Amino acid sequence: MTSLLPAPAVDASASFWSDADKHVLRYGSAFVPEIIDRAAGSFVYTESGREILDFTSGQMSAILGHSHPAIVATVQKQVATLDHLYSGMLSRPVVDLSRRLAESLPDPLNKVLLLTTGAESNEAAIRMAKLVTGKHEVVSFARSWHGMTLGAAGATYSAGRKGYGPVAPGNIAIPMPNAYRPDFVDSTGALDWQRQLDVAFDLVDAQSTGSLAACIVEPILSSGGIIELPLGYLAALKRKCEERGMLLILDEAQTGLCRTGDWYAFERDGVTPDIITLSKTLGAGLPLAAVITSDAIEQEAHDRGFLFFTTHVSDPLVAAVGNTVMDVLESEHMATRAAHLGSVLRAGLLAMQEKYEIIGDVRGRGLLQGIELVLDRETKESSDELGAGITRRCLELGLHMNIVQMPGAGSVFRIAPALTSSEEELALGLGILDRAIGEAVG
C-alpha cells in the first residue's frame, strides 16, 4: 500500500556536497566549504544566509566589486545584441577597447589582441616573441605563475611542474629578488639585487644554446608571495634583455588597471616592456585578456605568419564589458582611489605587525598587499598549519582570505580587495583578521 505520509526532507546542503564529491573534478586547493548563492559589491552571500567579505575580489579579478551596476547593464544590453562572432570578424566594442588600451599605455605599445584568460594572453605573447626573434628560450622567475597552458606553464615555477612530463624546451628560471628572504646580501645584510641579477644571467648564458627569445615576469609576483621588484630592478632587467636580443614581456594580469595605485605597475619604474599582457582586472570578473605590443613587433610577427586564431578571440560581449571597465576606472579616478585605500589598508596591516610577532613582513603596493606569517622573526621559520588555521577562522568570522604556502617561502596572505571597497569595509576586514590572528597566538 502506498504511504500518504510526506517524504522525509532531504538536506539540500548535504545533497550539494555529495554531488560535488561525485561529479566535480578537483583542480587545485580544497573548495571553500560554503555554497555561494550570490555576490554584490565587496561581499559574497551563502545559501545559508551568511555574508562574507571578499578580500580577494574573486580570483583577484572583480576590481569593481561583484555585480557592479554598470557591468550588469552592459552585459544585459550586449548579450541581447551582439555576443559572439566568427573570429575573423570585427565589431565596434573590440576596436574601441583596443584603441583605449593603446591610449592608456606609453608608446610604442599600440597593437592589441583581445583574448580570454591570463594563460592565453601569456601563451600568445611567448609564441609571438619566439616567432619574431626566431629563438625559443624563455627566462622567468623561480616563483612565477603565468598560467596552465603549455608555454605559460613552462614559464611557471611556483607550482604544477611535477608529474606532467617534459615542458616546452628552453625554459630557464632565475631567482626572484625577495628582500625579506635575501640570498645575495650587501655589507648591511640587505638584498643585493644587482649582484643577484648579474649572477642569474651568468647562469642563463651558461645554460642557453644561443636561442634566448624572451623574459616574462610579473612586476609584483603574486603567487610567489607578493614580492615586489625593487626600484631599479626592472630597468636593469630590460638592459639584460636588450644585450641579448630578448623581448621583455610584463605579465600585469593582477597589477594592471589601477590596482597598485598606477594604471600599470611598470609606470613606477619608467620602463616600457616590449609586450604587456593583461587579464583578470580587464574583465572585472569576466573572461577577458589582452596582449599589447608595438607596431614594429606586430608587423614582424604578421610578416612571419603569426597565428593565434582561437574561438573567442575578439569577442564583442566581453570587449563591451572591457570598455565599461575603462569607463568606470577613468570616471571614478580609480588609480588615485586605489593608492589612497592601499595606504589605509597598509597602515592597518603595519599596526597589526607591531601587535603580533607572527607577522614577519608587510609588503605590496596599492590594493595588492601581502603579510608573511612566521613562527619566529629572527629565524623566519614558517608554519603552514598556522596560516591555514587563521584562514579557516577568518572564514568562520565572515572574511575570505587567500594564503600562499610554498616550501622555504613562508605563509603569505594575498590581500586584494575590490577598488570600489569603502574604508569601512577595509576596517571590517582588518578587524576580523586581527581577531583571528589574536586567537591564534592567544
The residues annotated as belonging to the active site are 145, 218, 251, 254, 280, 414
The cell for 287 is 573572461
Nearest of 408, 401, 399, 394 to residue 369 by alpha carbon: 401
CA 258 – CA 420 distance, rounded (Å): 11
The cell for 381 is 621559520
8 Å CB contact between 200 and 174: yes
Q: What is the DSSP string of 396-437?
A: HHTEE-EEEEETTTEEEEEE---TT--HHHHHHHHHHHHHHH
b (16+ CB within 10 A) / e for 215-238: bbbbbbbbbbbbbbbbeebbebbb
b (16+ CB within 10 A) / e for 52-90: bbbbbbbebbbbbbbebeebeebbeebeeebeebeeeee
The cell for 416 is 586584494
CA 132 – CA 270 distance, rounded (Å): 25
